[in-house]
A and B are shown apart, each in its own frame.
Chain A
Amino acid sequence: MDDSTKLFLQRFMRRIPSYMLRTTLEKWGRLTAAQQKSIDFTQSKWALTEALLTICEENKLAMKHLIELEMIYIMDNPNQGMWYVLQLLDPEDDAHSVELMQFKEQFKSHLKELVRHVSIKIKNHTDQAVWIRIAWGDAFSRPNHLKPTFGVHYLQTPYVFVTNLTSKQKPLLSQAVVLSTRYQAIKDANLSGRKLTAIRDLLMRKYQQVFPTKYPSPLAENNQTISNPHIVKEQAEPAANRLHMACKAFGGGALPQLQSAVYKLKTKFRDDPNKTMTEREEPFRCVVKFESTNLLESLRHCASSGIASTPVTPLLSCIPLKGRNYFVITDNDSGPSSQTHQPQN
């Protein structure tokens, strides 16, 4: 084992929590049953690393084997780092028939044509996802396995999820993906989040959908004994109405966990009662970022509790509808009096 391989294993051991090590090693399957048994998982990380290094030496395991180990860990725990979404555009006629082996071969050969030193590993995950691990090098250096890019593509869908991709590497990866999936173009889908599963569910509509017919009547039944029925009745109606509106915009069930949404506003400033800056024609530039541990849940609560006026503005409700969380907003060209805005691509 050379030094870089040792370093890779040390770094990996530092990242993985001790309690996950046993199952990850079992899935890896490069250790004999006896070796697996010999490891005392209650030891310190340092001692565990030493033990594992010895076993890897014995079994003559190399970098390519250790990469597998890392991939197993990341595939099981994908909710780390920031994931971004790329969207493929204009499929060729045969795009829907691309299958795994073909994609694998094509992707590898296209990317290797673009970059001289690159190490690519592709694995098929249980839920039909194709996982791609890329360690990048350049003309003079060998691939750096310590800072790999991960990509996840669901075959027959136009989405590619990436993490740890630099702006230099992005065009290279994009080109290889476009060619090997039989599409013609690729663009930023303006969606990002820390939870891969959440942004995937949002795009692929794998959460409880909004069906307007599901909320036909705004008034919920209330059988509780009440102190002043008039007041309660008075307040129940708008409250139920708000809840109705909130659910209409965001659905009633659990929502995918997004952490943030960003709006770049370039719209005319209007502060009607005060008449400030009325003569100014240029747009007022500002950036608004919403953050929460579960953004959609927070926004739904804002609407149902009355912090936000209902009906919910399309600017907010289009986060789940369009599956995006980055928007540039400008005034419509239809005329200066228009109050509506259109999220631009």
Chain B
Amino acid sequence: MFKSVSGFCLLRPISTPDMERHRNSVTSKSKSYRMSYRSSLGAAASRLGLTPALTGRRLDTRRRAPKSHNITEKVNPEQLALLTKTEWQLSYVTPLYRFRHTQLKSYSGQLSAFIAAGKQQGLAVEVFDPQTAFRVSFSVVQGMTESDDDADTVLIQIHSKPLFARQDEPQKTVWSGLLTCVNANPEYLRSLPEYFICLPLFGSSGAEGLTALVKSWFQQSFDCCFGPLEISHTSLQWLMALWTNCHTESSIQHLKMIWTLPAVPPLQVTYTVNPEDAWELWSSVRKTRDKRGGEEEENCIDIEEVTSFMQGLKSHFYRHFKLDLSAGSLNQVSTALGSAKSSGRMKISNSRYMITTLALLTECALFKMPI
């Protein structure tokens, strides 16, 4: 069962640098991208062969402006609270082989046993004690999908008692994990062979030892592999623009960017913009676009608009400090709606824009995937 798909892992070292190179070479040509995306998907059937067929994929250069989704009615409030209050460390996961949403109960038992065994082997630091055993629960988050092809989001929680807890003290959630897929490319999803479930975005929050154990259980059980999902400069800019675009519906409070410039010693620049002024700059950028091309739909945002928004902010900064922010790297962006760090930490504070943000991250995860 495992051998038949081991090609996933084998492909990884070959295709990743290739993809990066390809992405860089086509960044300026937005039209050619759609062609290659399609054509590569056409070749998806042969993906299990050794040709890295999907190397043409790159991030969308246009996306729909975020609609506010009132998911509070669809999603269990307890689960929603966990999703919004947690800062997730993101990873990508390759499609899961023979993962079934109906088997979650048995997965809970298996993973609990796996963690217990792992702890006993001394993989993690804590000493194993049946009193503080870990109880795992898998649950489906209903209502978190955008299209019918998306697999349902799965939430994993690990409960345990603190080391020095009293007997009657209830167990606490010590680790949470999230596997999700929002608005993934339907052609890609349909091109997957039978028995594969695609939940490409994995978020974890809690002790790293537990994260490692959960990952290795998934790897063994569903023949998948995990990799770190950094949030690229472009994605951070997208998030800034998407959030700012929401300002009239729900206030962003502030638009904050943190840059690091490679001076000696390193110089950190925190650039915080007043929410109304950020919004006005954004609408001014949008208006200029409208004049240029009239036939485009209202609700689409182009990458050009995102970059000229950023360019505006950068040149205002340069005019004052004669410092070019492009020399440094953007590490973090945040508003009241959420925060994202280039290291792959993400917090979505407002449930209304969760779907949009997760859709962007799903796309990043699919893009980062080595197959």
Q: Do A and B come from one complex?
A: yes
Binding site for B on A (CB under 8 A): 263, 265, 267, 269-277, 280, 284-295, 297-299, 301-302, 305, 307-310, 312-313, 315-316, 329, 339, 341
Name the residue among B269, B284, B327 with the largest chain A CB count within 10 angstroms: B284
Q: State whether the Cβ of B164 lies closer than 8 Å to any Cβ in chain A.
A: no
* Residue from A273, A284, A297, A301 in contact with B277 in the complex, judged by beta carbons closer than 8 Å: A284
Whether B265 contacts A293 by the Cβ 8 Å rule is yes
Cα of A247 to Cα of B328 in the assembled complex, Å: 22
Q: State whether the Cβ of B13 lies closer than 8 Å to any Cβ in chain A.
A: no
Cα of A271 to Cα of B308 in the assembled complex, Å: 10
Cα of A275 to Cα of B287 in the assembled complex, Å: 11
Whether B277 contacts A285 by the Cβ 8 Å rule is yes
Cα of A289 to Cα of B285 in the assembled complex, Å: 25
* Residue from A265, A275, A309 in contact with B322 in the complex, judged by beta carbons closer than 8 Å: A309
- How many inter-chain contacts with C-beta < 8 Å in the A-B complex? 119
**Binary interface profile of B, 238-266, with partner A (CB < 8 Å = 1, else 0)?**
00000000000000000000000111111
* Residue from B263, B285, B320 in contact with A265 in the complex, judged by beta carbons closer than 8 Å: B320
Cα of A309 to Cα of B315 in the assembled complex, Å: 13
In chain A, what residue has the closest Cβ to B328?
A307
Given A285-B273, A288-B317, CB of A276 within 8 Å of CB of B265: no
Which residues from chain A contact B263 at a C-beta distance below 8 Å?
Answer: 292, 298-299, 301-302, 305, 307
Whether B267 contacts A315 by the Cβ 8 Å rule is no
* Residue from A284, A297, A310 in contact with B316 in the complex, judged by beta carbons closer than 8 Å: A284
What is the CB-to-nearest-CB distance from A332 to chain B, in angstroms, rounded to a whole number? 13
Whether B320 contacts A315 by the Cβ 8 Å rule is yes
In chain A, what residue has the closest Cβ to B316?
A269
Which residues from chain A contact B323 at a C-beta distance below 8 Å?
Answer: 302, 307-309
- 25 residue pairs bridging A and B, Cβ less than 8 Å apart: A265-B320, A269-B281, A274-B315, A275-B288, A276-B284, A276-B288, A277-B284, A284-B274, A286-B277, A288-B271, A288-B272, A288-B317, A289-B269, A293-B265, A294-B265, A298-B265, A299-B263, A302-B261, A302-B267, A302-B323, A307-B327, A308-B324, A309-B322, A315-B321, A316-B321
17 further interface pairs, Cβ-Cβ under 8 Å (given A297-B264, A305-B263):
A265-B320, A270-B315, A270-B316, A284-B274, A286-B273, A287-B270, A287-B272, A288-B269, A288-B320, A289-B272, A292-B265, A298-B266, A302-B263, A308-B323, A309-B324, A315-B320, A339-B319
Cα of A313 to Cα of B323 in the assembled complex, Å: 9
Interface residue range, chain B: 20 to 34
What is the CB-to-nearest-CB distance from B263 to chain A, in angstroms, rounded to a whole number? 4
Whether A312 contacts B267 by the Cβ 8 Å rule is no
Name the residue among A287, A290, A302, A315 with the largest chain B CB count within 10 angstroms: A302
For residues 109 through 150 of chain B, which have their beta carbon under 8 Å from a beta carbon of chain A? none
Whether A274 contacts B308 by the Cβ 8 Å rule is yes
What is the CB-to-nearest-CB distance from B322 to chain A, in angstroms, rounded to a whole number? 4
Q: State whether the Cβ of B268 lies closer than 8 Å to any Cβ in chain A.
A: yes
Whether B281 contacts A284 by the Cβ 8 Å rule is yes
Whether B264 contacts A298 by the Cβ 8 Å rule is yes
In chain A, what residue has the closest Cβ to B308?
A274
Interface pairs A-B: 9 shortest CB-CB: A285-B274, A298-B267, A298-B263, A289-B270, A309-B322, A301-B263, A291-B268, A286-B273, A313-B322
Q: State whether the Cβ of B311 lies closer than 8 Å to any Cβ in chain A.
A: yes
What is the CB-to-nearest-CB distance from B289 to chain A, in angstroms, rounded to a whole number? 11
Which residues from chain A contact B267 at a C-beta distance below 8 Å?
Answer: 290-292, 295, 298-299, 302
Given A274-B312, A277-B280, A287-B272, CB of A308 within 8 Å of CB of B321: yes
Cα of A284 to Cα of B282 in the assembled complex, Å: 13
Which residues from chain B contact A275 at a C-beta distance below 8 Å?
Answer: 288
Which residues from chain B contact A305 at a C-beta distance below 8 Å?
Answer: 263
Which residues from chain B contact A287 at a C-beta distance below 8 Å?
Answer: 270-272
Which residues from chain B contact A309 at a C-beta distance below 8 Å?
Answer: 322-324
What is the CB-to-nearest-CB distance from A265 to chain B, in angstroms, rounded to a whole number? 6
Whether B281 contacts A286 by the Cβ 8 Å rule is no
Which residues from chain B contact A290 at a C-beta distance below 8 Å?
Answer: 267-269
Whether A277 contacts B262 by the Cβ 8 Å rule is no
Which residues from chain A contact B266 at a C-beta distance below 8 Å?
Answer: 292, 298
In chain A, what residue has the closest Cβ to B261?
A307
